[in-house]
Amino acid sequence: MISASNVPDQHEPSRGRPRWQQALAEAVCDPAELCALLDLDPAAVLPARAAAREFALRVPRGFVARMRRGDPRDPLLLQVLPTSAELSQAPGFGLDPVGDLAARAATGLLHKYHGRALLVSTGACAVHCRYCFRRHFPYGEDSAIAGGWAAALERLRADTSVSELILSGGDPLSLSDRRLTQLTDALRALPHIRRLRIHTRYPVVLPERIDAGFLKWLAGVPLQKVVVIHANHAQELDHTVARACRDLAGAGATLLNQSVLLADVNDSVAALADLSEALFAMGVLPYYLHALDRVAGAAHFEVSDVTARALHAALASRLPGYLVPRLVREVPGADAKTPLV
């Protein structure tokens, strides 16, 4: 059960910004502060600052609280702490590893697969994942932000083969409830869109986002709803995440998870099995386990295909089929995610 102190105030005062925006503004962005909070060797600070110049450090305090103090190998820390490894060049690791720039159907709209279009609804995220394939994405020019949805919506109106709209980013839950409402109101004029899918890491890294106002919006969207969260390790999933997932399901969403296979974070059968079990305990089915996208600065997270397949086989021999995520890679130009097995 959740203790009373963890239950968010359901009656948010109408003045002032919502609590989640406050938590977002208070995220840790200074490597020195992160190292101090976790009792880490301050020698990590200088390299972190150098790497953070390319892609800033950003991690919400609630997520930091789930990390082990004094452990530089903590699987949550490794996902967010900039390191000097990011600055070394690796062959085959580039700026647009998944061919996003070629798949642009309109400003902010990516159309790669049949029936599904993906709206890059904002460039902002609550957390900066060091392995992120969009760390070099030119959001400034191309996210459908600040009224820039018109072209994307026009394109969707014209293409009745699209039945599912995926809100991605960045993280679409960085948008205010008001902006989300504007977007889904506009979708009412597009009856061929039957499903709304939201790809978001907020329920995991900043579950405060799943508040009464957001849930009211979600429950009111007259489409089938799928929320795909993103957790890579069972340690990310605490009771605040469980509460957010329960509330999302209560608002009518089907819950799935996608993970990235990351060296030293979750590249063991035990870590992956624990993750699937912990997700299911929260009503979330494991959907995809992604092979790392080969984005510049993330080479040190790569797990070889041979190891990935062996892990997946071991997982399948240990868990019910519905708890085994599909091991896939995004291959530019392919008509679906490509299975590795």
Q: Which of 66, 111, 112, 128 is close enough to bind ligand SF4 by CB under 6 A?
A: 128
Which of ligand SF4, ligand PLP, none does residue 129 bind to, with CB < 5 to 8 Å depending on kind? ligand SF4
Under the phi-then-psi rule, with left for phi > 0, alpha for psi from -120 to 50, and beta for the rest, what region is 91? beta
Closest of 217, 110, 108 to residue 164, by C-alpha: 110
Which of ligand SF4, ligand PLP, none does residue 40 bind to, with CB < 5 to 8 Å depending on kind? none
Say if CB 137 and CB 100 are below 8 A apart.
yes
What are the CA-CA distances from residue 144 to residues 102, 174, 191, 206, 312 (Å)? Answer: 17, 13, 21, 23, 36
Q: Please, what is the minimum distance in Å from the beta carbon of residue 291 to ligand PLP?
A: 13
Give strand ranges (E) for 19-106. Answer: 104-106
Which of ligand SF4, ligand PLP, none does residue 331 bind to, with CB < 5 to 8 Å depending on kind? none
Q: How far apart are CA 221 and CA 203, in angstroms?
A: 19
Q: Output phi, psi for 319, to 5 deg.
A: -120, 155
Q: Please, what is the minimum distance in Å from the beta carbon of residue 126 to ligand SF4?
A: 7
Which of ligand SF4, ligand PLP, none does residue 118 bind to, with CB < 5 to 8 Å depending on kind? ligand PLP
Residue 132 found at the interface with ligand SF4 (CB under 6 A): yes
What is the pairing mode between strands 116-120 and 109-113? antiparallel
Question: Residue 8 carries which side chain, given as an amino acid letter?
Answer: P
Q: Which of 112, 134, 243, 300 is close enough to bind ligand SF4 by CB under 6 A?
A: 134
Candidate ranges 45-53, 123-131, 151-159, 329-337; the one touching ligand SF4 (CB under 6 A): 123-131
Q: Which of 74, 100, 171, 208 is close enough to bind ligand SF4 by CB under 6 A?
A: 171
Q: Please, what is the minimum distance in Å from the beta carbon of residue 113 to ligand PLP?
A: 5
The footprint of ligand PLP (CB under 6 A) covers 103, 110, 112-113, 116, 118, 166, 336-337
Residue 127 found at the interface with ligand SF4 (CB under 6 A): yes
Q: How far apart are CA 166 and CA 228, in angstroms?
A: 10
Q: How far apart are CA 165 and CA 135, in angstroms?
A: 23
Q: Which of 28, 119, 125, 245 is close enough to bind ligand SF4 by CB under 6 A?
A: 125
Give contact residues for ligand SF4 (rule: CB under 6 A): 125, 127-129, 132, 134, 169-171, 201, 230
